[in-house]
Amino acid sequence: MERFKLGFIGAGFISQFQATALQGLRDADLVGVYAPEGAEALSAFSKKIGVGECTVYNSIEDVCNASDAVAVFAPNYVRIEVFQAIADAVKKGASLKGIICEKPLGRTVAEAQQLLDLARSMECPTAYFENQIHMKAIQNSLAQLGPQQRTMGPIALARSAEEHAGPHMPWFWDPTRQGGGVLSDMGCHSIAVGWYVLTPLGKDPMFLEPVAVSADVGLLKWGTPEGRNKLLERTGVDYYKTPAEDFATGMVTFRNPETGQHVKAQFTNSWMYDKQGLRLLMDGLGPGYAFEINTLMSPLQVFIGDEAAEAVADAETALEKATATRGLLTVQPNEADLYGYVSELADAVQSFREGRDALLTFDYGLEITRLCQAAYMSAEEGRTIDLTDAATRSKLDTYTSLIAQGRGAETLRVG
Ligand SMILES: NC(=O)c1ccc[n+]([C@@H]2O[C@H](COP(=O)([O-])OP(=O)(O)OC[C@H]3O[C@@H](n4cnc5c(N)ncnc54)[C@H](O)[C@@H]3O)[C@@H](O)[C@H]2O)c1
């Protein structure tokens, strides 16, 4: 079998994680990268860990010409221009077998729709990257509880949380470039995994119909004078002028179109989780059965006491978004696999080889964007958003939250 050639667009945090995940695939190589910053470092890293020669290219067109599929790992605010460049390359003759886009598909429903339209114009299979659905812990929980689902009925309540102390790069904090705060950045993960967990076994990820969304957001840590000053100093983003939420929680209600049953996905996200590092918490409750996942429960812990002079060698290779380098530390030996990156890459490569879409398509990515934006609208307007109402859906099609417009001060009560 010929090796599958992957090209990356973007060479930052997630590109490095995905390159690491490629170690878990037997049939694909990282053949090239284009990025204004970090490309040389990613190429060197790729060679060092043995996942591909990773040539540094000077344009998106060149990466497309060298690859079987390209993965867009660039920031949210350049999605449209990047996809336009891919579409131009395809028009000029690049023969791509697939296109991957990291979450979120768009910062608004209109942007996600534009991306979907561009992808459709290329007539190319797609993979929307939502890693948490591919987590082996999620997939195994659902597989193990298959008999219970079949005899007792599907899961009726899913609760999902992703929390850490805040993103690395300044652009994530800037709501006008990122698309909002933690709800835009991580709410998309938790809403997606909740929807998936509730979906009866064997059904399409979009089988359950979203009917209502309610949400609340807050600026709880990074809105205090100390928090705002620290953020300004660290990132250059001024939460006195353009604040975004660092906490979001809410509920999405879905309807089973075959049985009429309503089921619920509760989500919670924060950038104010000052514990060891990133924590994913998911559970699912069905009639008479349940599962629970907590990614901070690692079988590996290390301890470094005050007397031991040196801190841990590299806190971020111990645990994503680690906040401490000594004391009792949680270490995850294989985060790329734990968080589902290996499985989502394997799914994309196999699907593209077979000439079809991956498990999660850009159409699915658009629906996730719609749910996130409905959550912003709910928090902003203080009401439950009825997704079965045609007028509300059409309002969502052109909606940009006040926070994403840089007008968060009008809606976030920070004092
Ligand atoms: N699934 C996850 O858990 C997860 C985690 C982190 C980031 N992400 C997503 O991945 C994307 C990238 O995030 P990141 O943390 O790697 O960001 P980053 O800032 O660390 O890296 C961004 C990279 O894109 C490059 N870039 C900037 N403008 C570009 C352009 N016009 N064309 C091509 N490349 C460009 C930068 O030079 C840099 O190499 C975001 O959409 C983010 O939401 C997903």
State the average pLDDT over residues 64-85. Answer: 98
CA 171–ligand 1 middle distance (angstroms): 10
Q: Mean pLDDT score of the chain, rounded to an integer?
A: 96
Please tell me the distance from the alpha carbon of residue 362 to that of residue 55, in angstroms, as a whole number: 28
Instruction: For strands 385-386 and 209-218, give the pairing.
Output: antiparallel
pLDDT > 90 in the chain, percent:
92
Listed residue (13, 179, 16) closest to 112, CA to CA: 179
Cβ of 170 closer than 6 Å to ligand 1, yes or no, is no
Which of 13, 163, 178, 279 should be mutated for ligand 1, with most atoms under 8 A from CB?
A: 13
360-382 confidence digits (pLDDT tens): 999 999 999 999 999 999 999 99
Q: What is the pLDDT of residue 27?
A: 96
Q: What is the pLDDT of residue 103?
A: 98
pLDDT-derived band at 314 (thresholds 50, 70, 90) equals confident
133-333+369-410 has CATH 3.30.360.10 classification:
yes
CA 19–ligand 1 middle distance (angstroms): 13
Q: Worst-scoring range by mean pLDDT, 104-108, 232-236, 266-270, 306-310?
A: 306-310
pLDDT-derived band at 288 (thresholds 50, 70, 90) equals very high
Report domain extents, the chain.
4-132+341-361, 133-333+369-410
Q: Is residue 45's pLDDT more than 70? A: yes
Q: Whose alpha carbon is nearest atom 8 of ligand 1?
A: 14
Question: What is the CATH architecture assignment of 4-132+341-361?
Answer: 3-Layer(aba) Sandwich (3.40)
Cβ of 101 closer than 6 Å to ligand 1, yes or no, is no
Q: Which residue has the higher pLDDT, 346 or 307?
A: 346
State the average pLDDT over residues 268-285. Answer: 96
Which atom of ligand 1 lies closest to the CA of 76?
Answer: 41
pLDDT-derived band at 304 (thresholds 50, 70, 90) equals confident
State the average pLDDT over residues 196-209. Answer: 97
Q: Is residue 327's pLDDT more than 90? A: no
Q: What is the pLDDT of residue 415?
A: 66
Cα dihedral angle (314, 319, 325, 326), rounded to 10 degrees? -120
Which atom of ligand 1 lies closest to the CA of 85?
Answer: 32
Q: What is the pLDDT of residue 318?
A: 79
Listed residue (17, 25, 23, 15) closest to 348, CA to CA: 25
Which of 9, 72, 73, 101 should be mutated for ligand 1, with most atoms under 8 A from CB?
A: 73
CA 174–ligand 1 middle distance (angstroms): 14
Please enumerate in sequence order all residues whose Cβ is within 8 A of that of 408, keeping only pairs 6 or more positions apart, or say none. 175, 181, 219, 242, 243, 244, 245, 402
Cβ of 82 closer than 6 Å to ligand 1, yes or no, is yes
Q: Whose alpha carbon is nearest atom 37 of ligand 1?
A: 37
Q: Worst-scoring range by mean pLDDT, 14-18, 272-276, 388-392?
A: 272-276
CA 10–ligand 1 middle distance (angstroms): 6
Phi and psi at residue 110, to the nearest 5°: -60, -40
206-264 confidence digits (pLDDT tens): 999 999 999 999 999 999 999 999 999 999 999 999 999 999 999 999 999 999 999 99
